[in-house]
């Protein structure tokens, strides 16, 4: 599927852990349609090393996302029981206790596959046996989905490369600014800065002032 920007975010219904304690079997992004932006991010594995730094970093900024009417949702190919166990482990021991946003279980790997962030390949060999090369886990994908369910931004990092949560907030601010003002956001734009009109005159005026 490759680039999802400009397309409807793939739908799914899956098990998830809510508020760090409650396991549900039918979590879906459809609950946010028409009401909230969504930052959906994938991470490779529970009980690992880079992953808890990212999950805690999103939690630390969760109030800022929520103040912009944006839900944060995490997802990996681990089971909901694995998520729940990791959520009970203190941060000091490498756990993610204290995470309150939903953590989705993509146990059958279809969500990661449909968002095109599934690492590794699977195929049928000459004997008709299903085989896999590499671990079938998620790359560090991140998707900003607007209130209409359309992907407006995506980022995919390789497994060792952690993401910048402030950049996710900046892109969310840029989307909101564009929707509210109808102006584009130039390079290195941050909230509070001016945008530019997508015309020859607009870019000339912006460049002359910056």
pLDDT of 161: 97
**What strands lie across the sheet with 22-27, from one edge to the other?**
22-27, 14-18, 103-105, 70-76, 37-42, 140-145, 151-157
Out of 51, 70, 75, 185, pick the active-site residue. 51
Asked if pLDDT for residue 1 goes beyond 70, the answer is no
pLDDT of 202: 67
> Which of 110-114, 155-159, 190-194, 203-207 has the least mean pLDDT?
203-207
Which pair of structure tokens corresponds to residue 11? 């739908």
- Provide the percentage of residues in the chain whose pLDDT is more than 70: 97
**Which one is predicted more confidently, 53 or 131?**
53
Say whether 51 is catalytic: yes
Tokens 């490498």 locate to 94
Whole-angstrom distance, CA of residue 171 vs CA of residue 174? 5
* Confidence at 123, pLDDT banded by 50, 70, 90: confident
- Each residue of 104-119: pLDDT tens digit? 999 999 999 999 999 9
- Each residue of 129-152: pLDDT tens digit? 889 888 999 999 999 999 999 999
Cβ atoms within 10 Å, residue 119? 16
pLDDT, mean of residues 164-178: 98
For strands 14-18 and 22-27, give the pairing: antiparallel
Domains and CATH numbers, the chain: 14-161 (3.40.30.10), 164-210 (no CATH)
- Each residue of 19-46: pLDDT tens digit? 999 999 999 999 999 999 999 999 999 9
Asked if pLDDT for residue 201 goes beyond 80, the answer is no
With 0-12 CB in 10 A as exposed, 13-18 as middle and 19+ as buried, what is 158?
exposed
């Amino acid at each position: 599927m490759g680039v999802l920007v400009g397309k409807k975010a793939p739908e799914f219904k899956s098990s998830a852990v809510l508020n760090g304690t409650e396991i549900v079997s039918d979590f879906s992004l459809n609950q946010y349609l028409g009401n909230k932006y969504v930052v959906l991010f994938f991470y490779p594995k529970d009980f690992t090393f880079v992953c808890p730094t990212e999950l805690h970093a999103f939690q630390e900024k969760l109030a800022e996302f929520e103040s912009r009417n944006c839900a944060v949702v995490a997802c990996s190919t681990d089971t909901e029981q694995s998520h729940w166990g990791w959520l009970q482990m203190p941060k000091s021991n490498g756990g993610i206790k204290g995470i309150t946003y939903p953590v989705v279980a993509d146990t059958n790997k279809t969500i990661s596959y449909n968002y095109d962030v599934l690492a590794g390949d699977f195929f049928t060999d000459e004997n008709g046996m299903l085989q896999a090369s590499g671990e079938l886990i998620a790359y560090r994908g991140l998707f900003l989905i607007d209130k209409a369910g359309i992907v407006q931004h995506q980022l995919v990092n390789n497994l060792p490369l952690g993401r910048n949560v402030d950049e996710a907030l900046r892109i969310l601010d840029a989307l909101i600014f564009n929707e509210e003002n109808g102006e584009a956001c130039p390079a290195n734009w941050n909230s509070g800065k001016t945008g530019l009109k997508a015309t020859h005159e607009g870019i000339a005026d912006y460049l002359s002032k910056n």
